Structure 1
Amino acid sequence: MNAPLASAPGTASAASPVTLAPLPRPAREEFEAVTAHGAYMPLTQFGVIDATGDDAASFLHGQLTNDTQHLEAANVRLAGYCSAKGRLLASFLSWRSGETIRLLVSKDVQAAVQKRLSMFVLRAKAKLTDASGELAVVGLAGDVRKALSGVFDAVPDGVHVKVDGPAGALIRVPDALGRLRYLWVGPKAEVEARLPVLEGKLTHASAAVWDWLDIRAGEPRITQPVVEQFVPQMVNFDVLGGVNFRKGCYPGQEVVARSQYRGTIKRRTALANVAGELESVLAGAEVFHSDDPGQPCGMVVNAASAPDGGVDVLVEVKLAALETGTVHLGSAEGPALTFLPLPYALPAEV
């Protein structure tokens, strides 16, 4: 029988800072399981914030980059939370669970973001709580639909579509390498009771494989090292549906809108591979262009061990730096980045 899921780090105290240590490099078999058949991965790098109360949806609508006021029960939305300067403090997947709006967030920024959001509740009938201790998060990737049918009565077809059942919520998230991906978020006891159904059908893989799949899907995640570094468009949130440009005000909205409509988006997030290991290739590390070694041209957003060696990264970079020359990690003499195609197109910038 499967061992109980480990509690997510930091759940004992929502106020204590959490540091996410680099995950060990997975065995090659764990990567190959995703492409050969399917894998499931308990994910403790995430936390969950629950927003409850009559005004929960309207409160979050006035704080996040996406629409929570009209969030339907079967849909999930990517959203960001910005500073007044339009820089991302956090990224979320948001959805309804009954009357609750649930926010999936990187564990290392959860406490700070939950505290900051709570400061602005004021007279609204809304309350934010840390639900991480009660919930388990599991990622599934590859040929997993048949295995999931033993847990859920239905499996969602569309990306960012959700189905609910006694075991919690099952959410389809963007594919990676042409393979289906799902997030399963449910009460810990219910998830642990049903995980044995997946054993023998799917490979139990490391959470590090999920981080790699997120990168190959081109899905940036805001973690502590890159807090307040990026306007949403710099990490492609406008392309990924994480920003609603028709909704009302939220912190940083004027900066985000100005970037969109004045043609000032000169930086984007690209996919690349670089030699090294996660101990040296870290989120927040600067990258430099061969023709301009004196100042950085971008920053690593996310990094994960790659199956064929080195580290795959999502890197925010000046678009001009991709046209000629080479981009290097740490300094102009550091390892060169090999850029790979994203699984989606970026708009042509004026």
Structure 2
Amino acid sequence: MSSVAWQQFLTTQGARIDAQHYAHFNPSTAENRLFDLSALGLIAVRGEDAQTFLQGQLTNDIKQTNTGAQLTGYCTAKGRLLALFYAWQTEDTVTLQCPRAMVPDLVKRLRMFVLRSKVVIEDVSDQFVCMGLAGPALQSLTPGIPETVHGVSHNQQVTLIRLPKSGGLPRAQAILPVAIAETHWRQFANLYTPSSTDAWDALEIQAGIPQVYPQTKEQFVPQMLNLDALGGINFKKGCYTGQEIVARTHYLGKVKRRTLVAQLSASNSTPQAGDTLLDAQQQEAGQLVRVAPDVKGGWSVLAECRLESKEAGVVTWQGQALTFVAPPYALT
């Protein structure tokens, strides 16, 4: 089965596929839900020097993908994020996951720095299907989901990763070759109700998981997106591109801009990642990082903003005040 055939299969299951590879199903309030994550792309980095090469490129200690998946940033020399990757290792391959639209440019850029390293970098987005699973039925899956958050298991070509909970719901991701995706989707659908990809985004937002998109690349240093709080930066691993700026931000004191979970009411306009936020004086206060429709109406958002603007009481998007909610993890 090709990736095109996979999309055709999803349409037979009731999905509408848009240009961004989002699958849209009828709204569901089911406790256990299944999501197509084809909007995410995959970069395979393999070869005997793969870990060493990535160690000099990414913010996290890539050697730790031997024991579990991790968030990690890819920065410019000025410490600005080109991408956020979710990374894991299978045998001799480190897989980097990010929005599919960003993969071709990132593959090209990474290859520029390979030089004489024994590394092969490949876009494998069309070779695999990523699925999201949410709900208590995770406990009954066979083979089992790893018990620890970011734990990774491999069984019969299927990679399973335990993700952080969202709103108390257990979550996981399955990555499998496209040739066996249809069979496993049908099996999962015995326990889970197929749901829209943007509903998965809403769960990610509720869990405080940021993302970098083409329109927001080079806009943030990693701490602005809470990578330090999410375990996405290792300050002891040594040098990598942008390391000096990231370390300076860490050691010079309190971070003044953070990404916060918030709600926006319904609007005639659709908020987008990269949209500007304003403070009470109509000065720039930050920008939207991630947006998804909220099941109760309006929008769930992650908003990167100056903490002093938030503490002053008003941060707005197109005149609407953001309603901030308690963060799902501690920020210092």
TM-score (norm 1): 0.87
Cα pair distance change 1:130/1:54, threshold 3 Å: same
Cα pair 2:22 2:37 within 8 Å, conserved: no
- 1:97 alignment counterpart: 90
% identical aligned pairs = 38
Aligned: 1:63 with 2:57 = yes
- 1:117 alignment counterpart: 110
Q: Which runs of 5+ in 1 are unaligned?
A: 8-18
Distance 2:174 2:182 in 1: 12
- 2:216 alignment counterpart: 226
Cα pair 2:21 2:39 within 8 Å, conserved: no
RMSD of aligned Cα (Å): 2.0
The alpha-carbon deviation at position 227 of structure 1 amounts to 0.4
The 4+ residue runs of structure 1 with deviation greater than 3 A are 19-28, 276-279
Cα pair distance change 1:252/1:98, threshold 3 Å: same
The alpha-carbon deviation at position 197 of structure 1 amounts to 1.2
Distance 1:44 1:238 in 2: 28
Distance 1:312 1:286 in 2: 16
Cα pair 2:22 2:38 within 8 Å, conserved: no
- 2:307 alignment counterpart: 319
The alpha-carbon deviation at position 176 of structure 1 amounts to 0.3
- 1:135 alignment counterpart: 128
The alpha-carbon deviation at position 323 of structure 1 amounts to 1.2
AA of the residue aligned to 1:310: G
SS of residue matched to 2:233: coil
- 1:46 alignment counterpart: 40
- 1:302 alignment counterpart: 290
Cα pair 1:50 1:102 within 8 Å, conserved: yes
- 2:141 alignment counterpart: 148
The alpha-carbon deviation at position 169 of structure 1 amounts to 0.5
- One of 217, 240, 248 as aligned partner of 1:258: 248
Distance 2:209 2:130 in 1: 18
The alpha-carbon deviation at position 4 of structure 1 amounts to 5.7
- 1:204 alignment counterpart: 194
Bigger drift between 189-198 and 280-289 goes to 189-198
The alpha-carbon deviation at position 146 of structure 1 amounts to 4.4
- 2:15 alignment counterpart: none
- One of 57, 72, 84 as aligned partner of 2:77: 84
Residues 297-340 of structure 1 show CA distances to partners (whole Å, capped at 9, x for unaligned) of 1000000000111111000000101112311103xxx1111111
Cα pair 2:37 2:132 within 8 Å, conserved: yes
AA of the residue aligned to 1:345: A
